[in-house]
Structure 1
Amino acid sequence: MKILYIGDTNPFSTSFHRLSALKRLGYEVDSYNPYEVCNDQLTNFVLCKVHFRTGYSFLQKKIEEWLSAILGENKKFDLVWVDSGELIGKKCLQILKSVGIPVILYNVDDPTGKRDGGRFKSLLKALPLYDLVVVVRKETEEECIKLGANKVLLVYRSYDEEAHKPYANLEEIPSQFRSEVAFIGTWMRYENRDEFLLKLIESGVPVSIWGGRWQKSPNWNKLKPYFRGGGLGGRDYVAAIQGTKVCIGMLSKGNRDLHTQRSLEVPFAGGLFCAERTSEHLGMYQEGVEAVFWSDAAECARICKELLADDSLRERIRLAGMQRVRSLGVGNEQTCQTILETALQTV
């Protein structure tokens, strides 16, 4: 099978990991990055905000011409995989559909939710034209069906079998990525992640923070001594997960998350997953055995202290979590294979 892949090809992006998984599965994949086509617009501070809020409507003509040129090369494809799809509007889909092969959409965001305003305006108009729409939350599945999607597949998010592979020897992990309790993630307005971490710190939990935009936090001066660096990717990301004793996972409430990429990546990469107690987390892992969960900062602080004081308990949970996540069938390779098989059954 030969696949036309339309998505972000930045090596540190989750979409790139899916692209790599498709290639590892043995498929022939030609990849094209729509963000590069509009790079001058999307890297401009002001224009980027305008396009985000207008659902990239003003970029559609340019992307339509770009897609027509790709298909005009007369290459033969068996399937089109659109990853994210925020830049791909209705006329773009009509162009892709014109060659008579299945077109699927994989989106791990919350395109039918309210957090991002008009960001997914173009995508939602194109939704009924996809042969298969793949999403990661129940609400999105139900709302896509109401918006006219032909077939919707609900999946868990994924870890990547290669990108998130743990270090075989813990001594290889650089000292700058070792910590007691770590949070690896971005500061987000209205999510109160800074306040949560500050409560842990004030409770005596030795927190280390990696991620972007933390300088924007109103609590930056208090958090600054615990800040270890900006966003992590590649082996540095794995090192920080595997190099900490407890790895905290937080949800995006604006995105209606009940689990995130960290929910799978942390245990697979050899970290002990410590996150908010949700129905999906409880479905993935046995609490206190394969992962630990909390309802608020006070409970999280108590759990972290208990784990830091008990090396054997911490190691048992960490190893059990690693084993459990591998049994869930949520690696990129298995997930991508399931998506392709479902798409071909649909047509």
Structure 2
Amino acid sequence: MDILYIGNDSFHSTSYHRAMALKRLGHRVTLINPKTLLRSGLVRKLHFRTGYKLLQRQVTNFLKKRINVGNPDLIWVNGGELLGRKSLQVLKALRTPIVLYNNDDPTGTRDGRRFDSLRKALPYYDLCVVRLEKEEDELLKYGVRQVLRVYMSYDEEVHKPFDHPSEIPAQFISDVAFIGTWMRHEKRDEFLLKLIRAGIPVSIWGARWPKSPHWDALKAHYRGGALSGRDYVAAIQGAKICIGMLSHGNRDLHTRRSVETTYAGGLLCAQRTAVHLGMYEENQEAVFWDDVDECIGICRRLLADDKQREHIRKAGYDKVRTLKVGNEDICTAILKRLNF
């Protein structure tokens, strides 16, 4: 099948990984990236905050110049925040089904006006694929025709664990790891600081942590910036315990870390939610907490019990593979819904 794929073509982006999964499934994928119109950080911030309204003419012209690729069987839009109503009208002229895959929170309020243009374009999509947390009624009021709710996904190739722990570079070995971005108002820094003050040996990787007001207390535990590729897998597999946090502003009940961690061979220690409890058997395949004090207790117990820790890690590793939440699995489910 010929698929026109509109998304980020950066080698380390989840959008690119999903396009490659479609290729592994045997489809011919033509990838175009309208985000190349955002040439600088200042320009990106401006358009993010104004919902990309000022960019719509450029995006529409960009698509007109690049969609002359024959007659695709399907148009796959990944993310879609740059594409407004007129952009979708241009795509509709190709007279082929259009699917939107967005695992963010396009109808939420955390990111201000970021998704203004996307929301106006929703009625033009034949199928909107969203993460499991989203309520269909919330999307249908924007004129969405059809909704498919899915788990967040890992990538079968990108997140494959190392064959043997000895292959993991020493700089990625840790006791308790948190891999993620510092986010204003989410209080991740306060949570990790409480773990540290309780004597939990925490290692932190991720972007923007020097912006934290608690940076002076955290910097001794900071191991480096955002991770990707084999470094990301190494930090997960090289940790005895991996802390998984949600973005409450994004209304998360699970994240990509919820499946990438266990697939890459890590032990998931995350906030207790209905979705997490539906994915893993608690204390057998993953461990969960309601607050920082419970997390401290779990970390102390598991760091002192190698046998139990390894049992949970292996069980989580086995379980995530039965959930069918790899990129290839999710792509197959989407194509099946569209009768391909």
Answer yes or no: is the 8 Å Cα contact 1:135–1:141 preserved in 2. Answer: no
Residue 4 (structure 2) aligns with: 4
Which residue identity is paired with 2:45?
Answer: K
Answer yes or no: is the 8 Å Cα contact 1:103–1:132 preserved in 2. Answer: yes
1:138 to 130, 133, 138: 133
Residue 52 (structure 2) aligns with: 56
* 2-structure distance, mates of 1:199, 1:317: 25
1:172 to 162, 167, 173: 167
* 1-structure distance, mates of 2:132, 2:114: 18
Q: Report the 3-state secondary structure (helix = DSSP H, G, I; strand = E; otherwise coil) of the residue aligned with 1:29.
A: strand
Residue 129 (structure 1) aligns with: 124
For 1:180-219, list aligned pairs within 5 A. 180-219=175-214
Which residue identity is paired with 2:34?
Answer: P
Q: Report the 3-state secondary structure (helix = DSSP H, G, I; strand = E; otherwise coil) of the residue aligned with 2:99.
A: strand
Which residue identity is paired with 1:241?
Answer: I
CA distance 1:117–1:140, change in 2 (3 Å): farther
* 1-structure distance, mates of 2:331, 2:6: 15
Residue 32 (structure 2) aligns with: 32
* 1-structure distance, mates of 2:258, 2:310: 18
* 1-structure distance, mates of 2:119, 2:157: 32
- Cα offsets for 1:144-163 (capped at 9, x unmatched): 11111000100000010000
Deviation at 1:139, TM superposition (A): 3.2
Deviation at 1:295, TM superposition (A): 0.6
Deviation at 1:340, TM superposition (A): 1.2
- Cα offsets for 1:254-309 (capped at 9, x unmatched): 00000000000000000000000000000000000000000111110110011010
* 1-structure distance, mates of 2:160, 2:41: 35
Which residue identity is paired with 1:251?
Answer: L
What TM-score do the two structures reach when normalised by structure 1?
0.96
What TM-score do the two structures reach when normalised by structure 2?
0.98
* 2-structure distance, mates of 1:215, 1:274: 24
* 2-structure distance, mates of 1:244, 1:297: 19
Asked whether 1:283 is paired with 2:282, we answer no
* 2-structure distance, mates of 1:341, 1:10: 27
Answer yes or no: is the 8 Å Cα contact 2:131–2:149 preserved in 1. Answer: yes
Answer yes or no: is the 8 Å Cα contact 2:134–2:149 preserved in 1. Answer: no
Q: Report the 3-state secondary structure (helix = DSSP H, G, I; strand = E; otherwise coil) of the residue aligned with 2:338.
A: helix
Which residue identity is paired with 1:174?
Answer: P
* 1-structure distance, mates of 2:13, 2:302: 32
Answer yes or no: is the 8 Å Cα contact 2:38–2:44 preserved in 1. Answer: no
- Cα offsets for 1:182-239 (capped at 9, x unmatched): 0000000000000000000011100000000000000000000000000000000000
Asked whether 1:328 is paired with 2:327, we answer no
Asked whether 1:83 is paired with 2:78, we answer yes
* 2-structure distance, mates of 1:137, 1:126: 21
Deviation at 1:99, TM superposition (A): 1.1
Answer yes or no: is the 8 Å Cα contact 1:84–1:107 preserved in 2. Answer: yes
Deviation at 1:140, TM superposition (A): 4.7
Deviation at 1:69, TM superposition (A): 1.2
* 1-structure distance, mates of 2:150, 2:132: 8
1:295 to 286, 290, 294: 290
Which residue identity is paired with 1:204?
Answer: G
Q: CA RMSD in A?
A: 0.9
Deviation at 1:142, TM superposition (A): 2.6
Asked whether 1:70 is paired with 2:66, we answer yes
Q: Report the 3-state secondary structure (helix = DSSP H, G, I; strand = E; otherwise coil) of the residue aligned with 1:138.
A: coil
Residue 17 (structure 2) aligns with: 17
Gaps of 5+ in 1: none
* 1-structure distance, mates of 2:95, 2:337: 17
Q: Report the 3-state secondary structure (helix = DSSP H, G, I; strand = E; otherwise coil) of the residue aligned with 1:104.
A: strand
Identity of aligned residues (%): 59
Which residue identity is paired with 1:27?
Answer: H
Answer yes or no: is the 8 Å Cα contact 1:208–1:227 preserved in 2. Answer: yes
Deviation at 1:124, TM superposition (A): 0.2
Q: How many residues align?
A: 340
- Cα offsets for 1:69-88 (capped at 9, x unmatched): 122x3522100000000001
Residue 93 (structure 1) aligns with: 88
Answer yes or no: is the 8 Å Cα contact 2:133–2:252 preserved in 1. Answer: no
* 2-structure distance, mates of 1:301, 1:89: 46
